[in-house]
Chain A
Amino acid sequence: MQPWFVDFAERIDDGKPTYLACEECGETALAPRTVCPDCGTRTLEERRLSETATVSATTTIFSSIPEYADETPYTIVVATFDEGVRLTGQLRSDGGEIDRGETVTVGAEERDDGWLVTFAPVD
């Protein structure tokens, strides 16, 4: 696992997630970038990301890669933050179901081989 992702996940775990905003064009992005992916300038500023997001897409995985093969089925969520960035993580929910448009809160879990981003529904 890359050091920048460990740093990114640890900030989520600390309750202080961050994102990057372009001062030139307003584009938003996630680490580890030096250059704005939209306008190409080097005017990215690190800002605090909110801890809740809206579910944009979900899928339940039945057949997986070796690392997660023993944990199927599990649900993947792509959630969009108010700031505009999207993030991918695993659903942590008692019921196990979630729909597009629902609000979730972001978290991070430390595993044997790195960090896992999670999303849990907000009641």
Chain B
Amino acid sequence: MTVQIAGVASTQFGEHPSSSTRELFTDAALAALADASLSPGDIEELYAGNFIGDLIDDQAHVGAMLADYVGARRAASMRTESACASASSAARCGVHAIEAGNADVALVGGVEMMHASGIQEVTDALANAADNEYENAAGLTFPGIYALMAQVYMDEFGVGHEELAAVAVKNYENGTANPIAQRQEETDVESVLESPPVAAPLHLQDCCPVTDGASAAVLVSEEYAEDRGLETEVSVAGSGQASDSLALQDRPDLARTRAAERAAEDAYERAGVSPEDVDVVELHDCFTIAEILAVESLGFFERGEGARGAVDGETAVDGRIPVNTSGGLLAKGHPVGATGVAQIVEITKQLEGRHPNQVADPRIGLSHTVGGSGASCVVTVLEGGA
């Protein structure tokens, strides 16, 4: 059963001090339903990612809460959690439900409210994605883990901070054209290098911001779309998910994300495509180094050559393989539990030809979401022209 994307939406990413987890998700869900020309009563199953709500809101059982407030309290519902890949896992649940013939309509998405808490509390909550004993107890923060990966990568391949900074420069520029993006200012290499250090060698502009945001997508079976006369152009061609050791220290190569390689291989095989077929990509640039590792894991660059993408313009909107035309996590923002579906929202708009940084006639789009330092990865391949 082919799964099609009937509607997508994200809220504005940034600060929503007067909203809440349930309200912000409802905003995204209702906008996605309107985009699909469907209503809350049509939802049979609902899967939503949320990472730190238990800690920030003192509220678990988030799946049922969101279904309730979206107006689908009779639907099967569940909150999914795989750290920063939580929403991608939600999307996979919805895809599986429809592929298996168990449902015709699934609302998938995610939400995270991060701004109300202080930076230390958020840093503490995000650190829960790492190994509490082997990493957090040593005082290793989340940016710190990526800093370790960056140091090894830069040392082994002779890459400088300037080349990492080129990723931020590209994604900030893309973000200025995206109305929902949190960061609406361009930057330059010098500004990245001179921003305050967070975890050497990473500085503040190497890191994604703290973001409130929600995203949603309405998935339907092909048959249902025909019966209801829905205008669907994008289908899910295939997805893959893989894991790796929870702690970075347990990986043979510290500067390589093997879960991403495995998830990508699986997704490409299921979709019947290869990296050369991909026209537009949203990938997990939680830090500048993460984009470089990702373009290699996904097969767009040879190992050790990923930095070339942003430096030479190969990953620009008009480049060989456009990456993060939305501004990515670095500029669009990273509401952790929503990010995977936020990426699907952006790719869907690209394949439908209505993206603010539109790529010329894309047919195959790909999203890549990493949980933690790479212990989880989900890759989803979408196809236009359905």
B123 nearest in chain A by CB position: A65
Q: Are A88 and B127 in contact (CB under 8 A)?
A: no
B254 within 8 A of A: yes
Q: Are B197 and A29 in contact (CB under 8 A)?
A: no
Bound Cα distance from A61 to B120, whole angstroms? 13
Closest chain A CB from B200 CB (angstroms)? 4
Q: Are B197 and A59 in contact (CB under 8 A)?
A: no
For the complex of A and B, 6 pairs with smallest distance between CB atoms: A59-B147, A86-B249, A68-B139, A5-B133, A57-B148, A60-B200
Contact A60/B152 with A37-B245, A78-B248, A78-B254 known, Cβ cut-off 8 Å: no
Bound Cα distance from A76 to B119, whole angstroms? 20
Contacts of A78 in B (CB 8 A): 148, 248-249, 254
Closest chain B CB from A3 CB (angstroms)? 11
B201 nearest in chain A by CB position: A59
B230 within 8 A of A: no
Binding site of A, secondary structure by majority: helix, strand, loop or mixed?
strand
Contacts of B159 in A (CB 8 A): none
Contacts of A61 in B (CB 8 A): 139-141, 144, 199
Closest chain A CB from B130 CB (angstroms)? 10
Closest chain B CB from A67 CB (angstroms)? 7
A39 within 8 A of B: no
Q: Are B137 and A65 in contact (CB under 8 A)?
A: no
Of B124, B133, B144, the contact of A59 (CB 8 Å cutoff): B144
Q: Are B133 and A62 in contact (CB under 8 A)?
A: no
Q: Report how many residues on chain A are interfacial, defined by Cβ distance under 8 Å.
A: 35
Q: Are B151 and A88 in contact (CB under 8 A)?
A: no
B251 nearest in chain A by CB position: A86
User: What are some 29 contacts across the A-B interface (CB < 8 A)?
Assistant: A1-B133, A2-B132, A29-B250, A30-B134, A37-B250, A56-B254, A57-B151, A59-B147, A59-B148, A59-B200, A60-B197, A61-B140, A63-B119, A64-B123, A65-B123, A65-B124, A68-B139, A71-B139, A74-B139, A76-B140, A76-B148, A78-B148, A78-B249, A88-B135, A88-B138, A90-B138, A115-B137, A116-B137, A117-B138
Q: Report how many residues on chain B are interfacial, defined by Cβ distance under 8 Å.
A: 36
A69 within 8 A of B: yes
A43 within 8 A of B: no
Of residues 146 to 204 in B, which have CB atoms within 8 Å of A's CB atoms? 147-149, 151-152, 155, 196-201
B136 within 8 A of A: yes
B121 within 8 A of A: yes
A15 within 8 A of B: no
Interface residues, chain A, CB within 8 Å of chain B?
A: 1-2, 4-5, 29-30, 37, 56-69, 71, 74, 76, 78, 86-90, 100, 114-117
Closest chain A CB from B209 CB (angstroms)? 13
Bound Cα distance from A59 to B248, whole angstroms? 14
Bound Cα distance from A9 to B245, whole angstroms? 21
Q: Are A90 and B139 in contact (CB under 8 A)?
A: yes
A111 nearest in chain B by CB position: B137
Closest chain B CB from A30 CB (angstroms)? 7
Q: Are A58 and B151 in contact (CB under 8 A)?
A: yes
9 extra interface residue pairs, beta carbon distance < 8 Å, beyond A76-B138, A78-B254: A5-B137, A30-B134, A60-B197, A60-B199, A64-B139, A65-B136, A71-B139, A86-B250, A90-B138
Of residues 198 to 247 in B, which have CB atoms within 8 Å of A's CB atoms? 198-201, 245, 247
Closest chain A CB from B154 CB (angstroms)? 11
Contacts of A57 in B (CB 8 A): 148-149, 151-152, 254
Determine which residue in B120, B147, B200, B249 has the highest number of CB atoms from chain A within 10 A of its CB, and name it: B249
Closest chain B CB from A51 CB (angstroms)? 17
B109 within 8 A of A: no
Q: Are B123 and A62 in contact (CB under 8 A)?
A: no
Of B133, B197, B201, the contact of A2 (CB 8 Å cutoff): B133
Contacts of A76 in B (CB 8 A): 138-140, 144, 148
Bound Cα distance from A78 to B140, whole angstroms? 10
Q: Are A88 and B134 in contact (CB under 8 A)?
A: yes
